[in-house]
Amino acid sequence: MEINGVTIEDTQAEAFEMAFVRLVVTGRSGKWASDSATAAVGCATSIIGCGCEAGFEARRDDFKTPDGRPGHELLFFARTREKLEKELIKRVGQTLLPTPTVAGFNGLAAGADYELGTKIGFFGNGFQKEEKRHGRDCVVVPIASGEFLIEKTVKVGQGVGGANFWIFASSQKTGLRAAEKAVEAIGGMPGLILPFAGGVVAAPSRVGSKYEFLSASTQEDFCPTIPENKNPSRKLPKGVEAVFEVVIDAVTIDIAQRAMAAGIRAACAGGVVKIGAANFGGKLGDINLPLRSVLEKYPA
């Protein structure tokens, strides 16, 4: 298969199930809503070294905050519900609660119940209370500047993480431009996040390492700066000087596949040699997303 003269490799992206939560974060002004939300999703790019993967969800046309104030929808993903719950307590307690005028609400219609608000409420040292606010069951935590409001229960859903594709380019400049186009095509789609900074991964990784204390390491097979005589397993195609990856976490497999198709098509431009994907023989996940099948399922 080719798109605009770019070869689509006959391979699949290796993805996996992830538990996720959608939080709606609001503030008295856009500044406080944005500042707190940005802090809440900080350092959440990869479960290799982060407690979760998180980011801003694209705004839906019908999006309205529960309290009518400026706000954002955030998605948080982790491999297990238990890990996600621990991460949410830490992030909400450390980034939302201390930010002036901020409130947090559940943004998911269905899923397993988790009493995040109840647990955060213990910060109130016995003075917290449950009240109906904005038509929702909330926990009100007294703080020195007023109160912190958070919905008592959030819903935990099951989504997919690690959907991906690789961009093999003739130069770093053309590869990055193609990756940016892919991110632009995907970024406006609700129901997903691109957890890495700018949506682009400059250093795709492999499972495992020669060092026992590391769970992942660089993909040396595809590193253009390692000479062939020092790396006999080199797999970098001829004429390729840079490889970039785009990783997608989504609330459903369908959304992940649609995003992959849109991103791949946008990336197939001048200077791109081929499109591939990361897979690890089942070591990372058991959801296979064949590139060609995805593109056939979701034509332009």
Per-residue model confidence (pLDDT) at position 206:
84
Distance, in Å, from the CA atom of 110 to the CA atom of 137, rounded to the nearest integer, reads 16
- The CATH number of the domain covering residues in 2-14+159-297: 3.30.70.520
Per-residue model confidence (pLDDT) at position 268:
97
Residue that the structure tokens 């689509």 belong to: 8
Helix or strand run (H / E) with residue 12: strand 12-26
- Alpha-helical (H) ranges within 188-284 are 253-267
Confidence of residue 280 (pLDDT cuts 50, 70, 90): confident
Confidence of residue 26 (pLDDT cuts 50, 70, 90): very high
Asked if residue 283 has pLDDT above 80, the reply is no
For residue 290, count other CB atoms closer than 10 A to its CB. Answer: 16
Q: What is the DSSP letter of 95?
A: I
Question: 264 near 165, Cβ under 8 Å?
Answer: yes
Confidence of residue 16 (pLDDT cuts 50, 70, 90): very high
Confidence of residue 281 (pLDDT cuts 50, 70, 90): confident
The amino acid that residue 163 corresponds to is A
Question: 165 near 246, Cβ under 8 Å?
Answer: yes
Question: Of 81, 73, 133, 80, whose CA–CA distance to 109 is shortest?
Answer: 73
Two tokens, residue 181: 């186009």
Is 2-14+159-297's fold the same as 19-157's?
yes
Per-residue model confidence (pLDDT) at position 229:
83
For residue 15, count other CB atoms closer than 10 A to its CB. Answer: 28
Query: How do beta strands 71-78 and 136-143 pair?
Result: unpaired
What count of Cα atoms within 13 Å lies in the side-chain half-sphere of residue 80? 3
Torsional sign, CA 263, 264, 269, 274: positive
Instruction: Give, in degrees to the nearest 5, the angle at Cα 247 between 246 and 252.
Output: 130
The 10s digit of each residue's pLDDT in 208-267 is: 898 999 988 988 898 898 888 888 878 898 899 999 999 999 999 999 999 999 999 999
Asked if residue 204 has pLDDT above 90, the reply is no
Average pLDDT of the chain is: 95
CA 89 remoteness from chain centre: 19
The domain ranges of the chain are 2-14+159-297, 19-157
Per-residue model confidence (pLDDT) at position 81:
97
Query: How do beta strands 146-151 and 103-106 pair?
Result: parallel
Two tokens, residue 292: 């060609």
Per-residue model confidence (pLDDT) at position 41:
98
pTM for this structure?
0.95
> 3-state class of 93 per DSSP?
helix
- The CATH number of the domain covering residues in 19-157: 3.30.70.520
